[in-house]
């Protein structure tokens, strides 16, 4: 069974969905650690409530990206983590983590990549006036949402859609797509 760390920077709805699945036995992985770069993020409270250890840091407290990623690497190794799951982590993964966990880092993104990469994909979709957007699970590489796509699911944008209503629809899809994709990945590929 995979030993995973979840990286998150915000409220942690995907973190919570994965932890709930782990506790219910429907995620074929053990959630070993939360890594969070925002000391005030609500996801930290979620981790505490679930009894999941957390490594919380401020990037500015380190000399550079390599320094804080080296500390993250140490925390991951100490927790016995063998796979990284990004769930709203708002930083690009750098060479230190990519070398340590290459091919074992996945991300979920609220669009049908390659459309609307980066920040505010929901706002980008609304601004573009698209009728279809969605959710993508992909491997992480050195680029911004450029890694190999593992799974995607469509979300329809309806007339009068608001940012909140579209975000709610996308999060609903994210919560089941991430779990099922991770389970498939872990069971069929030996990750």
E-strand ranges in the chain read: 2-8, 29-36, 54-56, 83-86, 105-109, 132-139, 149-156
Separation between Cα atoms, residue 191 and residue 104, nearest integer Å: 7
Residues contacting residue 78 through CB under 8 Å, at least 6 positions apart: none
The CATH code belonging to domain 2-189 is 3.40.50.170
Q: Where are the beta strands (DSSP E) in 17-169?
A: 29-36, 54-56, 83-86, 105-109, 132-139, 149-156
Verify whether residue 109 is a known catalytic residue: yes
36, 81, 89, 91, 147 from 66: Cα distances, Å: 16, 19, 17, 13, 21
Domain chopping of the chain, boundaries:
2-189
Q: What is the pLDDT of residues 66-115, one digit of tens each?
A: 999 999 999 999 999 999 999 999 999 999 999 999 899 999 999 999 99
pTM: 0.94
Among 45, 74, 109, 184, the active-site one is 109
């Amino acid at each position: 069974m995979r030993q995973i760390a979840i990286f998150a920077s915000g409220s942690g709805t995907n973190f919570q969905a994965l932890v709930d699945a782990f506790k219910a036995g429907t995620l074929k992985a053990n959630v070993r650690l939360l890594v969070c770069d925002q000391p005030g993020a609500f996801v930290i409270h979620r981790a505490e409530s679930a009894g999941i250890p957390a490594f919380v840091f401020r990037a500015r407290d380190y000399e550079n990206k390599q320094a804080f990623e080296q500390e993250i690497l140490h925390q991951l190794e100490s927790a016995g983590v063998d796979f990284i799951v990004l769930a709203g982590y708002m930083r690009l993964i750098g060479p230190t983590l990519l070398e340590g966990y290459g091919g074992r880092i996945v991300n979920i993104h609220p669009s049908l990549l390659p459309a609307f990469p980066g920040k505010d994909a929901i706002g980008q979709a609304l601004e573009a006036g698209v009728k279809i957007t969605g959710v993508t699970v992909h491997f992480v590489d050195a680029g911004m949402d450029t890694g190999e796509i593992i799974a995607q699911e469509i979300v329809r944008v309806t007339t009068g859609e608001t940012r909140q209503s579209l975000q709610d629809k996308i999060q609903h899809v994210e919560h089941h797509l991430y779990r099922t994709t991770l389970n498939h990945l872990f069971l069929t590929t030996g990750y």
